[in-house]
Structure 1
């Protein structure tokens, strides 16, 4: 039986959020979180996506260049496991979940307790779309359809 996720909109402005990983998917997660005012620290041994370095240079995020340590999740509102290491992302989930911290994991649909939605923002509204089985491509297709429908 798959997990059921409760849809909720959260105020993450000035919330302490950790992103573990330095690649393209980590960058996409960071950009989304920054759009909502989050305070983000990235922990990664190496920045793979140059755009992450640019965000640091613009003082929009903090970066710590080293491997993830268990204590890194302490006092976090949300942690994103955005590495290409499934075992590490699972460990991050297990640590965070045991402490009631929201954790998004990019490498699985089951070892997480928080999912990102496909979001369309209009002038005075936003629509967030997610699929029960976690098919992000389908959610993006629906987002595009809704965007077209709302712009008509």
Structure 2
């Protein structure tokens, strides 16, 4: 079992690639945009139309084509957000070999960066993650923390 070190990263103006155009890709994009990331989406097809809206608002760039190995060049973080487990694994293996942070939505093993459930207050953040556990449990804990902080 891998052990993950909790860390907060400055994503302002960092070059981030999201491979995929569905609902999970959209959620990852929205999260990353909240932290000032510069995002390129590469996908043969946009499934989640909200991604198109982000492009129209000039918040992201979109390249409509299949992923190429060279797409990883000069990336700080890559998110493999396709429904193709083999492709997401390939993205992880290539990225990890280049010391690029890679989040993979289809597995708990083939990634070296995980997203946390985050509660953001006015002057603090609380990030919750699980070790090999169910990410839904982290979301439940986040909701409990939010309720306790409202009091």
What range is the shorter-chain TM-score in?
A: over 0.9
Residue of structure 1 equivalent to 2:121: 122
> What TM-score do the two structures reach when normalised by structure 2?
0.99
Q: Is the 8 A contact 1:109 1:134 kept in 2?
A: no
How far apart, CA to CA, are the structure 2 residues paired with 1:149 and 1:57?
A: 39
Residue of structure 1 equivalent to 2:20: 21
How far apart, CA to CA, are the structure 2 residues paired with 1:77 and 1:151?
A: 35
* Unaligned runs of at least 5 residues, structure 2: none
Residue of structure 2 equivalent to 1:49: 48
**Residue correspondence of structure 1 range 125-144 to structure 2 within 5 A:** 125-144=124-143
SS of 1:40's equivalent? strand
SS of 1:97's equivalent? helix
> More displaced, 134-143 or 59-68?
134-143
CA shift digits 1:65-115 (9 cap, x unpaired): 000000000100000000000000000000000000000000000000000
> What TM-score do the two structures reach when normalised by structure 1?
0.99
Q: Is the 8 A contact 1:43 1:67 kept in 2?
A: yes
How far apart, CA to CA, are the structure 2 residues paired with 1:134 and 1:3?
A: 12
Residue of structure 1 equivalent to 2:111: 112
Pairing 1:103–2:125 present: no
How far apart, CA to CA, are the structure 1 residues paired with 2:13 and 2:54?
A: 16
Q: Is the 8 A contact 1:22 1:42 kept in 2?
A: yes
Residue of structure 2 equivalent to 1:76: 75
Residue of structure 2 equivalent to 1:39: 38
Aligned length, in residue pairs: 151
TM-aligned CA deviation for residue 135 of structure 1 = 1.6
> More displaced, 62-71 or 127-136?
127-136
TM-aligned CA deviation for residue 134 of structure 1 = 4.1
SS of 2:62's equivalent? strand
